[in-house]
Amino acid sequence: MFKKILVANRGEIALRIIRAARELGIRTVAVYSEADEASLPVLVADEAVCIGPPAANGSYLHVRNLLSAALVSGCEAVHPGYGFLSENAEFARKCEEHNLVFIGPRPETIEKIGDKASARLLAREAGVPLTPGSDALDGVDAARSFAEKVGYPVMLKASAGGGGRGMRVVHTPDDLERQFVNASEEARSAFGNPEMYLEKYLEEPKHVEIQVMGDGQGGVVHYYDRDCSIQRRYQKVLEEAPSILPDDLRTRIAASAVGLAASINYRGAGTVEFLVDKHGDFYFSEMNTRIQVEHPATEMVTRKDLVAEQIRIAAGEPLSCSQADIVIDGHAIEVRINAEDPEHNFRPTAGVITDVHWPGGPGIRVDSHVYAGYRVPPNYDSLLAKIIAWAPTRSEAIERMSRALRETVIEGVATTVPFHLEVLGNGFYRKGDVYTNFIARRLGR
């Protein structure tokens, strides 16, 4: 097992990794920008290294600074968390070149499956169902030709995309060129790669993802599914585990995910994402080669520590459990508490948190780096916390989460707590009638 690892991230995921490492007896080194000097991960870690100015491209995205911090502090491995460089194959490769273990998939795996167009080819070879879609497009004319073949509406997607960036729904031929240019420029800005591809757009599908873990030798287990259908502008805001699916459909989706991961000798934690239509047909969407923001929902219903398993596998240990050892117990809901104002089009709100009180009681978990007096910087994602509620049934989990949110106090900045209470109180949500445009259709947001 490693003696010391670098946590190449910030916020709640950095703190989550530090806690898992500490329970494994591993010392941790936090990195921080000048804006995060007083952040909780910096205060909790065994050591901390400043890696640059507040701007992410000078700190959390600066490969040389991260590698220098790891080498100077004597780390053996680097955990990238999610976001930033977590799915950057070049960063993973640089870690290996400097004799640092990258706690994640191999660089070549990230390249193959992280590129959305390439991932579709791998999924097709593995026999995973695909929505009608193109390979990488070489321009607007190619996009127009494919769209005419499969019919409108279609979805433009960035080959290197994620987090909803570089995605556009196109309903008419007249709108295709404008949307293509806008999406490719957004992709270039966000990922440094403007390449696009097209998929047939499914009306009101569920977004279901399967959590997998591989040993890098073809051995793969799954931790069942999560429903991530509650999204705003393609950004997930609330997740639950398991999904509302018939058991036979759940089994088939999970088998497809495991088959894909095994076919590429996947190593570490990954998530295979699918769209499920009203007829119960499912289609591969993408595979994320990292731990997900919503992983705690899965941990709550399986009683497994996914981050600790990531670290063990990276250290060369085998999978700690067989598929038969992984069972679902109850239902979990996770909400993302962001520093955003729902009453003003979810405008980000930076500032000092003057008071905070997190909920407690049976079945409640809070993952957060926030404390009273913490200054929310304007430089990064607005996520403040994740509140997770577990209960024996979905209806009980809804009531428990509602109770927890009403207990939550965050003063000094506007947050999305009231918005989540609105979702949980919606009759369609309560009966499980959810799909990816639920927020726009049912809440008008």
pLDDT at 135 over 90: no
Q: Tell which residue, 318, 322, 219, has the closest CA to residue 264.
A: 219
**Residue 69 and residue 397 in contact, taking contact as beta carbons nearer than 8 Å:** no
**Residue 207 and residue 275 in contact, taking contact as beta carbons nearer than 8 Å:** yes
SS3 category, 95? helix
Residue 278: how many other CB atoms lie within 10 Å:
11
Distance of CA 164 to the CA centre of its chain: 11
Q: Determine the pLDDT at residue 233.
A: 86
Q: What mean pLDDT is reported for the chain?
A: 96
Structure tokens at 216: 């890098």
Task: List, for residues 271-282, the tens digit of each pLDDT value.
Answer: 999 999 988 999
What are the boundaries of each domain within the chain? 4-103, 132-200, 206-443
Q: Determine the pLDDT at residue 133.
A: 85
Instruction: Give the Cα separation of 347 and 350 in Å (integer).
Output: 10
Percent share of the chain, pLDDT over 90: 91
Instruction: Give the Cα separation of 306 and 223 in Å (integer).
Output: 9
What does CATH list as the number for 206-443?
3.30.470.20
Of the pLDDT bands very low, low, confident and very high (cuts 50, 70, 90), residue 222 is: very high
Q: Is residue 124 among the annotated active site residues?
A: no
Cα angle 263, 306, 18 (rounded to 5 degrees) comes to 130
Give the pTM: 0.90
Task: List, for residues 233-292, the tens digit of each pLDDT value.
Answer: 889 999 999 999 999 999 999 999 999 999 999 999 999 999 999 889 999 999 999 999
Instruction: Give the Cα separation of 136 and 195 in Å (integer).
Output: 7
Half-sphere exposure of 77 (CA within 13 A, CB side): 25
Task: Specify the CATH number for 4-103; select among 3.40.50.20, 3.60.20.10, 3.30.9.100, 3.30.70.100.
Answer: 3.40.50.20
Mean of the pLDDT values across residues 434-443? 94
Place of tokens 């941790």: 28
Task: List, for residues 67-119, the tens digit of each pLDDT value.
Answer: 999 999 999 999 999 999 999 999 999 999 999 999 999 999 999 998 877 89
Mean of the pLDDT values across residues 124-131? 94
Task: Specify the CATH number for 132-200; select among 3.20.20.220, 3.30.2130.10, 3.30.1490.20, 3.40.50.970.
Answer: 3.30.1490.20
Active-site pick, 290, 312, 336, 442: 290
Task: List, for residues 296-326, the tens digit of each pLDDT value.
Answer: 999 999 999 999 999 999 999 999 999 999 9
Instruction: Give the Cα separation of 370 and 185 in Å (integer).
Output: 34
Instruction: Give the Cα separation of 164 and 191 in Å (integer).
Output: 12
Q: Tell which residue, 260, 423, 413, has the closest CA to residue 333.
A: 423
First and final CA of the chain: distance in angstroms?
48
Q: Determine the pLDDT at residue 203.
A: 85
